[in-house]
Amino acid sequence: MSITARSVLFTMASVSMMLAAAISTSVTARATDGATMTPDPSVIALEIVPVCSDATLGQSIWKVTNKNSAAVHVDWNNFENSLNGGYDATPGVTELRTGFVASDPNNTTKFIYSGNVSQTNARHEACDDEGDQTPTPADCIDGKIQQNLVINWTSDGSVNVTTRDHMPLCEDVTIYLSSYTMPDNYNGQAFEGNVTAYPQPIFDSTSVTLQKGTDGTSDLYVNLPEACKNVQIDVYYGPEITTVGENGHGTQNIESKVYLAEGKCFYEGQRGNGGGSTGENGGGSTPVTPTTPVVPAQPGNGGGVETPAAPAPVAEQPTMPASLPETGSSMFGMTVPVIAALLTYIGMYAVARRRS
């Protein structure tokens, strides 16, 4: 092989190695910056909007809208200026501050969270008020953020719904109120990982659409399951859930209540009890507990009502009758025969004396 041929082969090999390295670096960069990450479908995408920048503080300010029910951790990276950091976006609208370099006309910043990746240029406009760069509150609120709805329980199966501070809604929002029958062996503990808490078949359900531009004030009511059952009642975003399983209502849940059957059997209109008295949670009259007779305590027994001491027994002495018992005859009728007998005796005694 000639020297020229060897030079050509060496050059081709070098180029191949350089291309392979470049491709490897590119793939690694994509994996590192999150471009190839898979978004978590259970997390609603955040809205991150640039607001202003402060050259003196070296900060850019962003408005973050989190429509999820929980905080979402965000990693930000102003990669052109090697500035990065982290931020926990709580539900609702919050403020995020990132690094800023005034000499960079772009300050392109990348945001990575829950498998999502986005990037936006910061705004170079100076913030109007150095002391307070918090974004101005919106003219309407998002009803799909749980914290923007206020739930008031007016009875076991009734709720009143309205928006926070009676702010108008930006869009229509549909919510449900449903009652469910819980398993009889439910142990009353937290739902997560508790196999006694489900399945829960639906018993009754209703829904309402809170209208855009209003505060959505509405009243909802559902019937409760049969007496002496464990009951769960949920306010949640649609669609309707007909059977509650191990995942509960997930991110749809707004608010829940559980009523245990133990010792609190309740009847609506004496339902299923055949009439008569009901338990403590139902209608009708409350059964009267029989009063236990109270036996007065004896003297010296430490309390109670004392009874007078009985007198000591006295031996009875025989007594003579004050008069003969009456038999229905008068005293005169009894005296005449006695006198007659006495006179007869005297007469006979006198005759016997003469003969002697």
Q: In the chain, where does the domain assigned CATH 2.60.40.3770 lie?
A: 22-136
What pLDDT, on the 0 to 100 scale, is given for residue 118? 87
Q: What is the pLDDT of residues 96-153, one digit of tens each?
A: 999 999 999 889 999 999 989 888 888 888 887 544 444 445 688 889 888 889 999 9
What pLDDT, on the 0 to 100 scale, is given for residue 139? 81
Q: Which amino acid is present at 205?
A: S
Beta bridge partners of 255: 235
Q: What is the pLDDT of residues 44-74, one digit of tens each?
A: 999 898 999 988 888 899 999 999 989 999 9
Length of the chain: 356
Q: Which amino acid is present at 221?
A: Y
279: CB partners within 8 A, 6+ apart: 227, 264, 265, 266, 267
Q: Cα 37 to the chain's mean position, in Å?
A: 37
User: Would you give the end-to-end CA distance of the chain in angstroms?
Assistant: 210
Pairwise pLDDT comparison (325 vs 201), residue with the higher score:
201
**Is 0.85 surpassed by the pTM of this model?**
no
Beta bridge partners of 204: 179
**3-state secondary structure (DSSP) of residue 181:** strand
**Residue at token pair 């092989």:** 1
Q: What is the pLDDT of residues 220-260, one digit of tens each?
A: 999 998 778 999 999 999 999 999 999 898 889 999 999 88
What order do you get walking across the sheet with 218-221 strand by strand? Answer: 149-155, 158-163, 218-221
- pLDDT higher than threshold 60 for residue 186: yes
Secondary element (H or E) of residue 28: helix 3-33
CATH 2.60.40.3770 corresponds to the domain 22-136:
yes
Q: What is the pLDDT of residues 285-313, one digit of tens each?
A: 333 333 333 333 333 333 333 344 445 55
222: CB partners within 8 A, 6+ apart: 157, 177, 178, 179, 203, 204, 205, 206, 233
Contact present, 72 and 89 (Cβ < 8 Å): yes
What pLDDT, on the 0 to 100 scale, is given for residue 87? 86
**3-state secondary structure (DSSP) of residue 203:** strand
- pLDDT higher than threshold 70 for residue 321: no
- The CATH class of 146-259 is mainly beta
What pLDDT, on the 0 to 100 scale, is given for residue 151? 94
Contact present, 159 and 153 (Cβ < 8 Å): yes
Alpha helices in 73-223 (DSSP H): none
Q: Cα 343 to the chain's mean position, in Å?
A: 117
| Cβ atoms within 10 Å, residue 277 | 13
